[in-house]
Every structure is written in structure tokens, then in C-alpha cells.
Amino acid sequence: MLKIFDLRATDDPRDIVHRSVQALVEGKVVALPTETVYGLAANALCESAVDRLCELKGRDENVPLAISVGSREAAGDFFCTLTPLARRLSYRCWPGPLTLVVPCDEPHSALTQVPEGVRERITGEFGCVGFRVVDHRVLAHIHRFLAGPLVLTSANLSGHPAPTTSEPVAEQFSDSIPLLLDDGPTRYGGASTVARVMGNRLEILREGVIERAAMNQFVKPVIVLVCTGNTCRSPMAETLLREQLRRKLGCEDAVRVISAGVAAGVGSGASPQAIEVMGKRDLDLTGHSSRPLDDSVINVADLVLTMTRGHRAAILAAWPDLQDRVHTLRRDGGDISDPVGMPVEVYESCAEQIDTELAAWIESFDDDFFPITASNEDGS
């Protein structure tokens, strides 16, 4: 008999979480909310539970199921390495309403620990597996207590819409599942967006609550230029890099370029000398507004280029996991000297040095750095 637990009726869901985990470990199928729709979940390490889930759904064996993991890091245990494009999406959309479908064929992948029958259910074309990192408190708690991932699918029968409230789930599965966790209407009220990434190509397999326009923004590389106060070197570097990328790619918005300072205030303009030097190149710095380097910038950055070794050291002291993404602008590891307080000729020399180093960086980018525009599976 179905037992319904109302998550809204408690500030402490631990008992509900423990009951759900126990049911999942025992090989039962549980219905629960996500931020998109209500889903049916089964322990991915229990083949009989996954078979039961497919039986309840009447699932076509040729349509792979997605798996839910507790974090971006947990997903990394499965796909092991990601292309720059897939990494961008994982950082910008997780936790959240994205099912990211990526190749999962590394020999040391955690997928090898999943029963063979389950692997066949979740592995699709090109050896790809779909991953969810759901942004919902109850699933986050459940994952903390489970040794493996969940197989997760929408809690609806064929021909019925994916449910965004618990009532349709209770009606359709009242005699076939033991637990339903009710948290009222889901946050987004629609299905997750499903995107497959192969190399630098993105295919929208299903357009869900993350719309195509947003996906096309999420896939853009982000390059951050960093100096001290974000009024001289890094604003010039930002403007020069935009211009070089415009010439190389033929458009102005294929890459997002940001500048910031490790000790910058908010809202200061560029120095008059920097504005003058950029103006001689027909580039406009008059609208620049300084910003400090913070989590909101670092968390979206694909590449951080610093003017000095000291800037790089300061960033890595604050964000030690970014070794592979933070580099000095000078590829030989040297410094771009600060021209602050110096005559305009020094700024011109500084700008020329920055421009030369930026050109070398652009030449070093491989094709995977620049994504192919998102498309439907049929290419439309």
C-alpha cells in the first residue's frame, strides 16, 4: 500500500529520508520530487529494482534511462574526463534542471561497478550516459546515504504528461510503489533539458525548462583577465582580447570576456591613459567599470589570465582547485608590469605587450575550446 509523506509538514526530513533510503536499499521503487517533475527512483546497484522501475513505466528497452548523482564530483567518478564544453555545462547548470549526456567509456569509470543489466539500461548511443544532479533538498539528503547512484525517470505512465504535483503519481502508482514523497508543485513545472555533448558539439535532445537561448549562453567559453585594481592592465587586456576574437571568429559574442582585480573596488573607471591608448586603436574603454575578482566570476571561468605571478598566487591561495585554469598572461611565466602613474608611452608599450601575449594564447586554443552551436538531434 502506498504511503505518502508530506515534506512540507516537517522542518526536519531526516526520518523521511531514512525511510526512503531503506526502501531503495531493499530494492524498492520510490516516487519523489525533483526541481522539474516528480520522478520514480531505483537503486542503480540493484538490478531487480531497475527492472521493476522499467516494468512500472512500461519503458522501451531501447530508450536509455538517466542516473541521478549527488554532486558534480560524484558524476566525475563516472565520466572521469570532460571536454571543455561539457565541463562548462556541468559547472553552470548543476545542480539544476539539465540532463547531461556524455560518453562514459573510461576503463576506470565507476560505471564498471554498476550491474551489467543496469549498464545496458542506462547506456545509449555512442556509449553515452545521461546524468542528473538534481537541485532538491530531499534528493541531496538521500544521496548522502546511498553508496551508488539512482536510476531516475519521470513518474508517469505512457501517454500521460510528466507530473509536476504528487496527485497524478498517487493515482497511477498507488498499488505498485511503497513510498511517495510529496513536496507540492515542483519549482520549474516542466521537464529537464536533455543535452548530449560529443567533443565540442552540443545537441539538444529535448528542450526543457532551460531554453535554447540560455543553453547557447551557457556553452560560451569565459576568459577572465586579472590585474590588481582593474583600471589599467586588465581593462586594456579585456578590450584587446575582444577585438582579437572578433577578428578571428567573425562575431563579437562567441566568447565572454571579463576583467577583474584581486584588490579592486566596485565601479571605478579605466585610467585616462588606458582610455587614450585604446582610443588610438579605435577601441572604447570609456564605459569600463571595475569589479573585484570573486566567486561569481571564478565559478564560470574557463581560463583566467593574470598580469603577474603574484596575481596567480593570490588566486590559487583563495581557490586552490583552479591550478589548471589560472595562468599568467605571459606564456613564459613572467610579469606584465603595472603602468599606473606612468606616462602614456608606458601604457602604449604595456598594451603592445598584452596584445602580443593574447595573440599567442588564441593561437594555442584547440577546436574543442569553441563550441558548435546548439541544435536539435535532427540538426534543426
Q: Which of 245, 235, 304 is nearest to 272 (CA)?
A: 235
Residue that terminates a domain, selected from 193, 217, 241: 217
Q: Mark whether 321 and 193 lie in a shared domain.
A: no
Query: 182: Cβ–Cβ under 8 A, 6 or more apart, which residues?
Result: 4, 5, 6, 7, 8, 33, 166
Domain membership flag for residue 376: no
Domain membership flag for residue 380: no
Q: Mark whether 29 and 163 lie in a shared domain.
A: yes
Active-site position among 128, 227, 232, 350? 227
Residue that terminates a domain, selected from 217, 242, 270: 217
Q: What are the DSSP E strand ranges found in 111-254?
A: 128-132, 150-154, 179-182, 193-198, 201-206, 222-227
Q: Mark whether 40 and 186 lie in a shared domain.
A: yes
Q: Mark whether 80 and 91 lie in a shared domain.
A: yes
Here the cell at position 58 is: 512500461
Domain membership flag for residue 293: yes
CATH number, residue 310: 3.40.50.2300
Give the C-alpha separation, 340 to 271, whole Å: 8
Active-site position among 52, 92, 233, 330? 233
Domain membership flag for residue 379: no
Per-residue pLDDT of the chain (380 residues; tens, 9 = 90+): 899 999 999 989 999 999 999 999 999 999 999 999 999 999 999 999 999 999 999 877 678 999 999 999 999 999 988 888 998 999 999 999 999 999 998 889 999 999 999 999 999 999 999 999 999 999 999 999 998 999 999 999 988 999 999 999 999 999 999 999 999 999 999 999 999 999 889 999 999 999 999 998 999 999 999 999 999 999 999 999 999 999 998 887 889 999 999 999 999 999 999 999 999 999 999 999 999 999 999 988 999 999 999 999 999 999 999 999 999 999 999 999 999 999 999 999 999 999 999 999 999 998 778 887 555 544 44
Give the C-alpha separation, 374 to 204, whole Å: 6
Task: Tell me which residue range forms the domain holding 294.
Answer: 220-369
Cβ atoms of 312 and 230 closer than 8 Å = no
Q: Mark whether 226 and 189 lie in a shared domain.
A: no
Domain membership flag for residue 152: yes
pTM, entire model: 0.86
Domain membership flag for residue 375: no
Sign of CA dihedral 351, 352, 356, 357: negative
Q: Mark whether 151 and 242 lie in a shared domain.
A: no
Q: Mark whether 187 and 278 lie in a shared domain.
A: no
CA Rg value for the chain: 25
Domain membership flag for residue 284: yes
Q: Which of 255, 263, 258, 243 is nearest to 308 (CA)?
A: 263
Q: Residue 158, CB half-sphere, CA atoms under 13 Å: how many?
A: 7
Q: Mark whether 179 and 246 lie in a shared domain.
A: no
Q: Mark whether 289 and 337 lie in a shared domain.
A: yes
CA angle 305, 311, 314 (to 5 degrees): 120
Per residue in 183-221, pLDDT tens? 999 999 999 999 999 988 999 999 999 999 999 899 999
> What's the domain count of the chain?
2
Cβ atoms of 148 and 115 closer than 8 Å = no
CATH number, residue 46: 3.90.870.10
Active-site position among 51, 77, 105, 338? 338
Residue 227 annotated as catalytic: yes
Bond into 95 cis (ω within 30)? yes
Q: Mark whether 33 and 180 lie in a shared domain.
A: yes
Q: Mark whether 124 and 162 lie in a shared domain.
A: yes
Give the C-alpha separation, 145 to 234, whole Å: 46
Q: Mark whether 165 and 227 lie in a shared domain.
A: no
Residue that terminates a domain, selected from 217, 247, 268: 217
